[in-house]
A and B are shown apart, each in its own frame.
Chain A
Amino acid sequence: MFRKKRGPRLGLLAGLMVLGLASLGIANGLWSETLHINGTVTTGEVDAKWSGAICREFHPWPFDLNTSLPGEVEDKEVGSTTVAADPNNDQILNFTITNGYPSYSVDCEIEFVNSGSVPWVIRGWLIEGYDGAPNGALQPLTNCSFSSALLTLTCDELTVVVADGIGAQVEPGGRPEASSLRVHVEQPALEATTYQFSVWVCMAQWNETVNSDTCFAEAPTPEDG
């Protein structure tokens, strides 16, 4: 009875001691060296800003390179259009028509530049009309519909069209082909009234292929800073 109990205990103890000594030997016996890599990653930036715009009136609507005539009907100076980058935010372009009237048409060449350090690709355009509550002279646009295929916003009172550029890749410091913004005042527009619309263009890093919806879902707006 005494032999059986002592045998396993002693053996176990011995084994543990051996393992302990062995591990100690491993810990203290290894000659080693450590190399270190100090890593710093500075990321680039996807950035863009408006760089210029110029507008020309024309008639009749719609614009046709071969048949459209410059200026207003009878060379009059009735309506006028101004466009300029917002002085406080170069990602916002302020576009204003003054004394517009039914059939007044204007075509603006709008330019933007890759002000970041990462190439980007134009992924989509979006146009929306103000359809909120009236506020003084400001009235909502009615029955608006946006066609992403034609890049056209059609409302009873206004038609807004942007030219393409989707898919164009722009290197840092580069500019895409100038885009076009065209606006036409429709007959149902009320007199002495203000209408508002917004146009957004989305660009994304060149190495990610995304559609327009994804681009707009992910991108910050200029108002976000």
Chain B
Amino acid sequence: MLKKSLLSSGGIFVMLVLALASLGVTYGLWSETLHIDGTVNTGEVDVGFSGPLVGYGVEVNGVLMTWDYQSDAGADPAIVGNVSDPHGLLVGAVATAPQVKDLSTCTASPSKDPTSVSFPDNVNSVDDGNNLITVTVTNAYPSFHCVIAFDVTNFGTIPVKIHQPEIDLGATPVGLIDTDFGNCYIVDRQLEPGDSSENCTITIHFTNSDVNIFEESQYTFSVLVFAHQWNEEPGQ
């Protein structure tokens, strides 16, 4: 009986020592932490059209006669477009207009396109620029010219590079739209925030030699201008 009581006392004693020792391990570490609170605010790629400017005219016996959209003299009252010229560009000069000029119209209306493709989705940013120009030509005929001039402005906070316009004619015959963008900003034009490019022009015109363009028909086309952050190329 003495042995048993000694054993139980010894056992309790050992347990107490172990318990106290474990307490010492758990609560004995002196330590400290430092903290870095990090925040990253991203900028925005946002480009839009400035203008557009519209001018049109007609070749009379091979001589191009055009209208100054800012002047009432010979101007077609159906002209719709941005009458201010931020770059001082005039499309053509005032001239005596042939009688038939009032039969056709060419309009170019800027707007925001909700279906415009951008990457990534701008869930937080506001699209400041007009990213769509809707061009409508009515009653076009051979030798009728419609010239739409536009430039691209960087409305965002990140420098961008803009590609030259790419035309998708779809089923529209070649010849209706001038696809030569010689009178345009340079390839991979870089724009700082707030900058605008030089003008670029699209000419809608066809001749009697364009036998695939028929009377009383409708033709559509689209033009894309691609812009991206200046320090990355597509596909990287």
Task: Across the interface, name the chain B residue whose C-beta is closest to A81.
Answer: B40
Q: How far is B120's CA from A197's CA once the two chains are assembled, in angstroms?
A: 21
CB distance from B175 to the nearest CB of A (A): 40
Q: Can you list, as one digit per residue, whether each of B20-54 has a CB less than 8 Å from chain A (1) or not (0)?
A: 00000000111111111111111111000000000
**Is the pair B158, A214 in contact by a Cβ cutoff of 8 Å?**
no
B123 at the interface (CB under 8 A from A): yes
**Is the pair A183, B40 in contact by a Cβ cutoff of 8 Å?**
yes
Among B76-84, B89-97, B226-234, the stretch that binds chain A is B226-234
**Is the pair B33, A221 in contact by a Cβ cutoff of 8 Å?**
yes
**Is the pair B158, A137 in contact by a Cβ cutoff of 8 Å?**
no
* B residues with CB within 8 A of A: 28-45, 120-125, 156-159, 229-232
Among A3-11, A21-29, A202-210, the stretch that binds chain B is A202-210
**Is the pair B44, A95 in contact by a Cβ cutoff of 8 Å?**
no
Partner of B30 from the list A76, A204, A223 (CB cut-off 8 Å) is: A204
CB distance from B75 to the nearest CB of A (A): 42
Q: How far is B42's CA from A158's CA once the two chains are assembled, in angstroms?
A: 11
Residues of B within 8 Å of A201, CB to CB, are: 33-34
Give the secondary structure class of B's interface: loop
Q: How far is B231's CA from A197's CA once the two chains are assembled, in angstroms?
A: 25
**Is the pair B31, A191 in contact by a Cβ cutoff of 8 Å?**
no
**Is the pair A190, B30 in contact by a Cβ cutoff of 8 Å?**
no
Residues of B within 8 Å of A203, CB to CB, are: 31-34
User: Could you give 9 example pairs across A and B, Cβ below 8 Å?
Assistant: A59-B231, A99-B41, A99-B43, A100-B40, A190-B42, A190-B120, A191-B156, A203-B32, A204-B30
Interface residues of A in 82-103 (CB under 8 A from B): 86, 91-103
**Is the pair A95, B34 in contact by a Cβ cutoff of 8 Å?**
no
**Is the pair A195, B40 in contact by a Cβ cutoff of 8 Å?**
yes
| With contact pairs A99-B158, A102-B232, A193-B124 given, residues A86 and B33 touching in the complex (Cβ less than 8 Å) | no
CB distance from A67 to the nearest CB of B (A): 17
Residues of B within 8 Å of A192, CB to CB, are: 42-44, 122, 124-125
**Is the pair B43, A202 in contact by a Cβ cutoff of 8 Å?**
no
**Is the pair A98, B229 in contact by a Cβ cutoff of 8 Å?**
no
Residues of A within 8 Å of B124, CB to CB, are: 137, 139, 190-193
Residues of B within 8 Å of A96, CB to CB, are: 38-41
* Given pairs A73-B230, A92-B34, A222-B33, 12 additional interface contacts (CB within 8 A): A46-B32, A74-B230, A95-B36, A123-B31, A139-B123, A191-B44, A193-B123, A196-B38, A198-B36, A199-B38, A219-B31, A219-B32
**Is the pair A194, B34 in contact by a Cβ cutoff of 8 Å?**
no
**Is the pair B120, A220 in contact by a Cβ cutoff of 8 Å?**
no
Q: How far is B232's CA from A199's CA once the two chains are assembled, in angstroms?
A: 29
CB distance from A193 to the nearest CB of B (A): 5
Q: How far is B231's CA from A126's CA once the two chains are assembled, in angstroms?
A: 31
Residues of B within 8 Å of A48, CB to CB, are: 32, 34
**Is the pair B34, A49 in contact by a Cβ cutoff of 8 Å?**
yes
Task: Across the interface, name the chain A residue whose C-beta is closest to B158.
Answer: A101
**Is the pair A101, B43 in contact by a Cβ cutoff of 8 Å?**
yes
Residues of A within 8 Å of B31, CB to CB, are: 46, 120, 123, 202-205, 210, 215, 218-220
Residues of B within 8 Å of A78, CB to CB, are: 43, 157-159
Task: Across the interface, name the chain A residue whose C-beta is closest to B192.
Answer: A76
A47 at the interface (CB under 8 A from B): yes
Q: How far is B180's CA from A45's CA once the two chains are assembled, in angstroms?
A: 77
**Is the pair A202, B42 in contact by a Cβ cutoff of 8 Å?**
no
Residues of A within 8 Å of B43, CB to CB, are: 78-79, 99-101, 191-192
Instruction: Enumerate the 3 nearest inter-chain pairs by beta-carbon distance, A residue then B residue, closest first.
Output: A192-B125, A219-B31, A199-B36
